[in-house]
Structures are given as C-alpha cells and as structure tokens.
Structure 1
Amino acid sequence: MELELVCIRHGRTQWNRDKRYLGHTDIGILEESQLELLSVKEALKERVFQKVFCSDLKRCRETLDLIYPTSADQVAFDKRLREMDFGDWEGQTYDQLKHSDMYREWLDNPQTVTPPGGESWGCFQQRLVDFMDSLVCIMKEEDNDNPMRSILLVTHGGVIRQLATMTIPDLMFWDFTVDPGSLLSLKLTMYEGQWVGRLK
C-alpha cells in the first residue's frame, strides 16, 4: 500500500509574523497570505486527491479555501490535525519566556516537559498516530485498481514536522523547517504495519 501525503502549512498569521507561539488559538491568516499562497495554488491546480483533510482551525480552513476550493462535504475537518496546545505560553514570544526554567527545559527536551496548562508531547504524538492509523482503513476502502493514492492535508508546522519524523527513518523534529504557506510531499509505504516515508 502506497500513499502520497501532500502537506500544506497554513498561510501566515499575525502571530507567525510576531513569532508568538500559536497552537489552538483560533485566528485567521493575513491578507498578504493570499499572494504568498499563489504558488501552492498553482502547484495543486491539476491535482486530484482521493481525500482532503484539514485542521478545524480558522487559519487552515482559510488556507484550504484559497489553494484548493472544494465543497465542504468533500473535506474532513479533523481536530487531530491541530497544532500542539501551548497552554499558558500561547501568544508569548521567546523573549518573553526565555527566563523561565521550565521553558528552557522544554526547548531542550520537549518530550519530557509539558507547557503549563498545555498539551504533553505524548498526547500530541498519539493523536497523530491515531490519524495515520485511520488512513489505513480509508485507503483499504479506496479503489484497489489505483495503486498510488494521494491525500491533501492542510495543517500546521509542528504537525507536518511530526508526521515526517514519525515516518522517515533517522529524521529528527528539528531537522527541517516548514514555513507558513509551504508544501511538503511525503511518499509513504505500508511496511510491517507501519508507514515508512521519504520526502518526494
């Protein structure tokens, strides 16, 4: 079973511009993002996807509307695709948080430190594992005459990084960046019950 996962990070928001932590806070994209997203829209123009998934947050919904307009009943808006919840650190910048011992510990080892009032790394990772597992069932329901399925995913930078880290051997979370409005395509193969991927 093979799957192409075309991952789009939402367009730029004011908090992205200000370099503020943005997790579950539901704000939209900047007007200028429409121009920034034109190249992604062009890249997707002739594409046909078996499924379209989108984070339920406003910035992703707005991005999808711009880059791949489709009827709402053709899209699965999925809370599992939300960015990590940064809790009390939502809306804060590095300069505002850098004097906190807990914050510095979290930067060094996010798997063992949870933002106050926020989401643990384990919970963040598990909901993405659940999402990827659900794709197996979806793909089995699709037409077996089409060996390569393509799914469009409009989501968040941390989610895209984590999906790549979970599927590409030896890839670490901080090995690459995902800019607002960028596209990253993963080619995945089901091997011994797990998705194994590479950057396409």
Structure 2
Amino acid sequence: MRTLHVVTHPEATHHVERVVGGQHDSALTEAGVRAAVRVARALRDRIPEEAEVELYSSDLRRCRRTAEEVAAALGTRPVWDRRLREKSYGEAEGRPQEWLDRRFVPPPPVGERMDHDEGIAGAETKAAFARRVHAAMDDILRGPAGHQVVVTHGGSLTWVVAAWIKLPLAAAGHVSFRAAPGSITTLHEDDYFHNRQVLALGQLPQHGLA
C-alpha cells in the first residue's frame, strides 16, 4: 500500500510580478510561505506519526522553501531532483508574461502535439518535459516508503499524475491535470488489486492561500 502526496508550491514572486515562471528561480511570497506552513501542517495531520516517509522536491527556490516546511513537520529530509522542475520556457523565462503571450504558438487541436514547436527559443517540448518528469517518477516509485511526498510545480503535476496512472506518452497529447498553487493531490495504490487511484486533485488546506 502506498500513498503519494503531491504538493504544488504556493504563490511565488513570478505570479505577482506577472513574469514567466518556468525554470526562472523565483521565491515564495510572504503569502506563499504562510501557505507552505499550512500545507506542511495538513500533511502532518494526514500521515501517521509512525509512518515511513520519503520527501522529494524540485530544486527551484519556490519548491525548496515549501519542502523545507514539509520536512520540518514530518521529521524527514528532502531529496532535491531537478527533473521535477517546471517546464522550461527558454528565452521567455523571467520576461513579462505578455512578451511570451505575443510570441507563443499554441499546439494544434489535432495532429502532433507532444513535439510541437511553440516558437520560443530554448523552450522544452511537451514530450521532453513529460519524459524527464516520468523518469523522476520511475525512480521515486522504486522507494519503499508507504507515504511519499513530491513537491513540484503546477505544470509538472500533469506528468506526475500521468506517470502514476501509467498513461503512455504516445496517448498524452491532450492530457492536463490542473491544481491551484499550494494544494495537495492525493494518489493511492491499494495492496490487494494494486490499482492506482487519484483520491483528490488539487485540494487546498483549510483557509486556502490567504
């Protein structure tokens, strides 16, 4: 039996400054830090004290700060994994969001979407993004702990869940799982059928992000 608790980092400076996040190394805002504390407390309430817990996190500052709160609450140490980072937007990262919006080429409604070129130099394709998160998840799910916590980004969440349910990348061109910043997605595998369930998607701790 295994439960995976996937945390999307709370509000970061790129949200309020309206610049492109991606792998731009933004920090949590003050509100984001308070939300990270709530996430950590919520996980402490959900995970039994005696349970073995493994904690994995993107190495970008906004996730590191979130993971540090979780680690303190759960009495564990994070493993930093750059493969859990947000999608790279190449030369757009850190620029105003409207700069990206003017240049962005959306994927077609049909046809090839995973290797689509969005028109931004240095940006990852959807396929490259998915492959690296899936590779991280392959390693994470080899861990023995009954409770695992993954701290990541809103875009990366889609590929964490897709990897969990073993969705083939060839069939993932249209998939998207959305969750608010500072939320917890709960994934569970039973020890009889070994079915993998999505128990809760993007659940906010009490009082949200205030």
| Fold shared by both chains (TM-score > 0.5) | yes
Residue 97 (structure 1) aligned to one of 92, 95, 100: 100
Residue 111 (structure 1) aligned to one of 111, 114, 132: 114
Give 1:78 deviation, angstroms.
0.7
Residue 52 (structure 1) aligned to one of 42, 52, 55: 55
Q: Mean Cα displacement is larger for which, 161-170 or 40-49?
A: 161-170
Aligned to 1:42: 41
Aligned residues, how many?
187
- Alpha-carbon separation, structure 1, partners of 2:29 and 2:113: 29
Residue 156 (structure 1) aligned to one of 150, 153, 173: 153
- The one-letter amino acid of 1:173's match is V
- Alpha-carbon separation, structure 1, partners of 2:143 and 2:90: 32
TM-score normalized by structure 1?
0.76
- The one-letter amino acid of 1:130's match is A
Q: Mean Cα displacement is larger for which, 121-130 or 6-15?
A: 121-130
Q: Secondary structure in 1 aligned to 2:22?
A: coil
Percent identical among aligned pairs is 23
- Alpha-carbon separation, structure 2, partners of 1:185 and 1:107: 31
Q: Mean Cα displacement is larger for which, 49-58 or 127-136?
A: 127-136
Change in Cα spacing, 1:62 to 1:83, as seen in structure 2 (3 Å) is same
Q: Secondary structure in 2 aligned to 1:105?
A: coil
- The one-letter amino acid of 2:5's match is V
Kindly provide the CA deviation profile for residues 109-155 of structure 1, in whole angstroms up to 9, marking residues without a partner as x: 7523243112222221111221222134323xx6xxxxxx1101111
Aligned to 1:121: 126
Q: Secondary structure in 2 aligned to 1:32?
A: helix
- Alpha-carbon separation, structure 2, partners of 1:40 and 1:72: 15
Kindly provide the CA deviation profile for residues 34-62 of structure 1, in whole angstroms up to 9, marking residues without a partner as x: 33334322212242452110111111111
Higher relative contact order (CA 8 A, sep 6+): 1
Residues 1:83 and 2:86 are matched in the alignment: yes
Q: Counterparts in 2 of 1:120-199, with a 5 A limit?
A: 120-139=125-144, 149-168=146-165, 173-174=175-176, 176-188=177-189, 196-199=196-199
- The one-letter amino acid of 1:161's match is T
- Alpha-carbon separation, structure 1, partners of 2:125 and 2:78: 28
Q: Secondary structure in 2 aligned to 1:132?
A: helix
- Alpha-carbon separation, structure 1, partners of 2:63 and 2:19: 17
TM-score normalized by structure 2?
0.73
CA RMSD of superposed structures (Å): 3.3
Q: Mean Cα displacement is larger for which, 7-16 or 84-93?
A: 84-93
Q: Secondary structure in 1 aligned to 2:56?
A: strand
- The one-letter amino acid of 2:106's match is E
- Alpha-carbon separation, structure 2, partners of 1:58 and 1:72: 20
Structure 1 stretches lacking a partner, 5+ long: 143-148
Q: Is the 8 A contact 2:114 2:126 kept in 1?
A: yes
